[in-house]
Amino acid sequence: MTYMWPSYHSLTELDNLGQQYELYLYKEGRQSLSNSRDALAFASGPPVLFLHGSDGSYKQVRSLASETARPSEASGKPALAWFAADFKEEMSAFDGAILERQTIFVVDCVKWLRQHYRQTYAADMPVVLVGHSMGGLVARAAAIALASEAGSSQYFLSLPHHL
C-alpha cells in the first residue's frame, strides 16, 4: 500500500506573467509550510514540471512525486522538486489555440524555474518536463521553443506526436 501526504503550494511569483494558469509546487510530507516562499526553500532537488492532459488536474502529479520521493529519503539525497502546471481542466484535445496558450505558459514557467535555481542555488539546473497525454504535446512544443537555449535536451516516450 502506498501512503501519501500531499501538499500543493501555488507559486504566486508567477502572477506577473498575466496568464490564466497557475504553477504549483508539490511537497510530500507532513510539515506545514505557510506560504509559497517557505515551500520553495524546500525545493532544492532537480526541478521536474508535470503537465496534465486534456481535462486533467495538476493534482495528478501526486503519484509520480510521492513515489520518487521515497528513494531520495532513503539515500539522503535531495528529492526531485516536483512542480505542476494547472491548466484549469481545459479541454485542450479539441482546440489548438488552447495548446498554444498552455505552451507559452510552460515556456515562461521553465524560464522562471531556471532563473530561480540560478539565483537561489547558483546552479544551472535543467528542467525536466513530464507530460501526460495532451500534456505531452505541450511538453514537446515547449521543448522545441526552448531548444535554442543552452542546456536543453529533448526525450519523448509514448506521446501522441500527431493529431
Q: pLDDT band at 155, cuts 50/70/90?
A: low
Closest by CA to 68, choosing from 53, 56, 58, 78, is 78
Q: What are phi and psi of 153, to 5 degrees?
A: -135, 155
CA distance 37 to 109: 16
CA distance 145 to 110: 11
Q: pLDDT band at 32, cuts 50/70/90?
A: low
CA distance 96 to 40: 33
pLDDT score at 161: 58
- pLDDT at residue 13 greater than cutoff 70: no
CA distance 56 to 90: 8
Q: How do beta strands 22-28 and 81-86 pair? A: antiparallel
Question: Catalytic site residue 92?
Answer: no
86 in helix, strand or coil? strand
Catalytic residue among 10, 36, 72, 133: 133
Q: Could you report the per-residue pLDDT of 74-111, keeping only the tens digit for each?
A: 777 778 999 999 999 999 988 999 999 999 999 999 99
